[in-house]
Structure 1
Amino acid sequence: MYFIRSLARMSPALVACCLAGCIGLIPSPFRPSPGPQKAPQPYDIAQAFDIVCRNYRLGPGDQVGILFLAEWSIPYGTFKLDTLDELEIKFILDPQLNEKVIVRPDGMITLQGVGEIQAAGLTPNELAKRIEDKYIEAEIFSRDETRAALKNYKLVTVHVVQFYQKVKKLLDAVTSLASGGRSAITVNPDGTIDLPLISERVLAAGHTIAEVENTINRLYRSGPIKHMSASLALGSAQSRKFYVMGEGVGGAFDIKQPITILHALAMAGNAYTKTADLTSVILISRDIHGKPIGRRIDVKRMLDVGDLGSNILVKPYDVIFVPRTYIDDLNTFVEHYLGVVARFKAFADVLK
């Protein structure tokens, strides 16, 4: 009881001074430990620009433009027939057997006298040799005929009249008057994209445009369409954001172009208040291995003397923390403990 009454008699100002004298010994809950100051190196700036611009990694909500193109130039002897290709088959021994055929969806063609022959996946010369062997086996051509006067000639020739028909039909399906041959694809919430004629979803989140492009071309060439290439371009970036929190600011903001720490704080709005400590703005980034890196940046020095050496680029998913000043921490501390003293005084008055 005596202690409470004595505490109530103490001057609130004296208590505030005593408590304020100890504030240097108490870690502030509003201000993180700044840690060692590190000036950004040219490598850091180049790496940040590389991540923001050239090696941007896709995320959910990003739009990717995909352009399908036929491979009009391939090495000699590597062209292989595909389904829907139109062929003209000519026989030097009997022109009456000449005919035009279309490779069926199952890869087969049907010729008079010998029936079905596998065509898809063969070169024109391989198919011609297979047809010749079929006609000799069926004794439509005799071996004596083929070994005598015509031994230096090809008995069967295959002319490709219409090729890449499957590729053309795909291009027709994805072509519109508005976009031409380019289609806009949005990265799904699970980080994948859906493509025509590919049953499995392609993982895009966390990968660059070049990496996704290589994956798509590999899947098409190993699957339904051989002679086609896909070209990708970033349409709009909806997933790359940076985050600002702390004194007077807070929120997520889009990165639509390379921005620096000053640009980021300007976008955040109320960072330049009297209670914000711009000498110790904390930037939390991740390196190429995903390890978080904290860095203290003296924004006030940039503004006061024009020292832009620390005005580094902000990368996607970076977090910027604006702490409160020591003076504002002191005010909060004093207001809190003055309230405690006032409550003690009121309690002591009740006990009188």
Structure 2
Amino acid sequence: MNAEGTGRVNWAAFAPALLAMVMLAGCAATQHTVVLDPKGEPEDITQAEIDEMSGLDNAYLLQVGDKVSLQFRLREFREGDVPWNYRIEVGDNMEVRLTAPMGDTEGYKIDVGDLIGISFLSNWPLNSNRTVRPDGYITMPEVGDVKAAGLTPLQLRKKLTDLYAKTGIIEGEPRITVNVDFANPDRLENMSRDIVVRPDGKIRIPSINTDVTIAGLTVQEAGDAIKAEAEKVLQNKPDVNLIVFPAINNSLLAMNGVVTVRPDGRVSVPKIGEIQAAGYSAEELRKTINEMCESLTYNQMDISADVVAATGARIFVGGEVANNGVYPLEGAPSAFQAILMAGGPTNASRLNSVLIIRRNPQGKPYVFKTNIANVLKGSTENDIMLRGFDVVYVPKKLISRANLFVEQYIEEIVPFENTLGVTGSYYMNTQKIESKSKNNNFSSGVTVIPGSRGITLPGTVLNP
């Protein structure tokens, strides 16, 4: 029993069966890939059948030291979405344009700065054009100042008719017309601005004495909010036109980048903070970040989380290679590349009978035998693509002693225990880090065992 309470397999007890397996598998060359049954009998197999037997890869769970690329961007318009339902964000730049309403001239109320044309049909010398002063008044001959702001043209006509009737300077009933020749364009133009939404989510429109909160509103809702505030200082509701230039993608640039899973299992993401990553898949991490971003922005974001460096996905290469040991999967995605990473084959290696030992997600082991020698001849058909925790074994050209085989290769190389459990310890780091890792049905506890010689993982590989 080791310090973690797990026992190592006594491979010598399996020497006769292992020798029989090797004699059948390692000494009988193959021209293509086969799968070996528990008795060592070969059966032809295709890459598609290998994939089916291996099952779908369990989602890789992040480990300490893994690097994850995070990218944040505004969710793009997709078919079926409501057109332009963008919600205004802090920092957005927008053009705010106020114009006089069109159409309902009878209901229009005269405002400060409007140019009014007043005509007397029977007394043309009294005809005049007047601009409404800032106090809302106009000055008319013989009657003096008349309040015009806030009245419709019809109301002002009636008021002037009554005033001139009282003066007696016009015979009979005065016949007067009032027209708004020009609504004050300068005032509305002066209120129009290019505006940036402040950090408090508000904007200030010139001549409107209150701030308008628009962050989180759609463009239509923001236009209505501006119109409601403008109506408090204008006699008529203006037409409000908004052109929004979203700045959210620029704000999200600071969040993009590659993060490393720290020894405490967490990653730090700008504007979000610390998030537990170890023991979760990249997709689970992405969903967690997406939930946390719901309070960060008013619009949906597209977030990607891609593992760019996986320290936890390992393969084990042994037998007749220069350097038996454990290697990262990302550096050796195929059996031939794994052999090269281990320093290449030795003079005694039998490349036409390379064994790949694999467990599917349910824990069932398979042994595949393939002819890697063909790769050196330019054919990659037999170069099996590896998965995490695969064992690549290159046999000798001749092995006669079962005990020697067990001692030299199995005990030293195959890092599995004698159970099919789902716990394991990697003796590869300087502190113990527990996570809920399910990578290839093994946990990712990392422990230093003083004096430990190897790496142990539970589960038998061969079951003769």
Q: What is the TM-score of this pair, normalised by structure 1?
A: 0.57
Q: 86, 89, 92: which is aligned to 1:79?
A: 86
1:268 corresponds to which letter in structure 2?
A
Identity %: 22
1:109 corresponds to which letter in structure 2?
I
Q: Is the 8 A contact 2:93 2:196 kept in 1?
A: yes
- Structure 2 residues not aligned, in runs of 5+: 1-12, 22-37, 101-110, 112-183, 407-464
The corresponding residue for 1:315 is 387
**Cα 1:277–1:27 shift into 2, 3 Å:** farther
The corresponding residue for 2:200 is 106
User: How many angstroms does 1:251 deviate by?
Assistant: 0.8
User: How many angstroms does 1:157 deviate by?
Assistant: 0.7
Is structure 2 residue 65 aligned with structure 1 residue 61?
A: yes
1:119 corresponds to which letter in structure 2?
I
**Cα 1:121–1:187 shift into 2, 3 Å:** same
User: How many angstroms does 1:68 deviate by?
Assistant: 4.7
Q: Is the 8 A contact 1:60 1:205 kept in 2?
A: no
Q: Is the 8 A contact 2:315 2:387 kept in 1?
A: yes
User: How many angstroms does 1:167 deviate by?
Assistant: 3.0
Q: Distance in 2 between matches of 1:212 and 1:264?
A: 30
Q: 98, 118, 123: which is aligned to 2:218?
A: 123
1:130 match: secondary structure: helix
Q: Is the 8 A contact 2:87 2:298 kept in 1?
A: no
**Cα 1:41–1:141 shift into 2, 3 Å:** same
Q: Distance in 2 between matches of 1:72 and 1:296?
A: 46
The corresponding residue for 2:247 is 165
Q: Distance in 2 between matches of 1:79 and 1:116?
A: 21
- The within-5 A match list for 1:206-245 is 207=281, 216=289, 219-220=292-293, 223-224=296-297, 226=299, 229-230=302-303, 235-245=308-318
**Cα 1:323–1:332 shift into 2, 3 Å:** closer
The corresponding residue for 1:286 is 359
Q: What is the TM-score of this pair, normalised by structure 2?
A: 0.46
1:320 match: secondary structure: strand
Q: Distance in 2 between matches of 1:331 and 1:255?
A: 29
1:223 match: secondary structure: coil
Q: Distance in 1 between matches of 2:404 and 2:213?
A: 87
Q: 247, 258, 266: which is aligned to 1:184?
A: 258
Deviations 1:37-89 (A, max 9, x none): 4543332445699989xx98765434444455556767633122111223425
Q: Is the 8 A contact 1:284 1:320 kept in 2?
A: yes
User: How many angstroms does 1:159 deviate by?
Assistant: 2.2
Q: Distance in 1 between matches of 2:44 and 2:60?
A: 25
Q: How many pairs align?
A: 281
1:315 match: secondary structure: coil
Q: Distance in 2 between matches of 1:247 and 1:30?
A: 20
